Amino acid sequence: MTSVVDTNVILVANGQHQDISPACVVACALKLQSIMTGGRIALDQGFEILLEYQNKTTPKKNNRPGDAFVKWALQNNANSRLCDLVPLEPHPERRYKSFPDDARLANFDPPDRKFVAVAAAHEKRPPILQAADSKWLGWTPSLEEHGITVDFLCPADIQRFHDIKFGND
């Protein structure tokens, strides 16, 4: 199965996210391991995703699960058996042409749009793996209407963050 991996999955697996449960750290590490041992990843051809991964991790220095995944992605991005490189066309308002033209997504974080754009432009519409960014909970219904799915690896953690952030105690 092919997946688009949000950077926060990597950071959580590395223990680089505050207030996350140990179960979430394990879930993210196991998901990354399963991709490396039998899955596939979708990245953009311009390597924006890989550059973000590298800017937030130390794949050459550390042996944390997220760092190992970034190293694997760097080593295998040209291997079509393990990685799909998706072309993204720029768009003046939405950032990417494949990012949905939907007013409900107007406030979607610009740096995260590349993950949605890759999923939307990919012929098989792979799920986006998400760990701890609670804003995605609000965007998911709109994304699903455009055929884009989000796989929340840590539903209890993300709901807790959402409740704290948006006052739903």
Q: Are 121 and 148 in contact (CB under 8 A)?
A: no
Contact 35, 41 (CB under 8 A): yes
pLDDT at 60: 83
Query: CATH code at 152?
Result: 3.40.50
Q: How many domains does the chain have?
A: 1
Contact 66, 108 (CB under 8 A): no
Tokens of 160: 């807790």
> How confident is the model at residue 81, as a pLDDT?
96
The predicted structure's pLDDT at residue 169: 52
Cα–Cα dist 162/135, whole Å:
7
Tens-place pLDDT, residues 106-152: 999 999 999 999 999 999 999 999 998 888 998 999 999 999 999 99
Mean pLDDT of 20-29: 96
d(CA 8, CA 4): 12
Measure the CA–CA gap between 142 and 155, rounded to whole angstroms: 18
- 17-21, 34-38, 143-147: which has the minimum mean pLDDT? 17-21
Confidence category of residue 19, pLDDT binned at 50, 70, 90: confident
With a CB cutoff of 8 Å and minimum separation 6, the contacts of 20 are 12, 131, 132, 154, 157
Boundaries of domain holding 32: 2-166
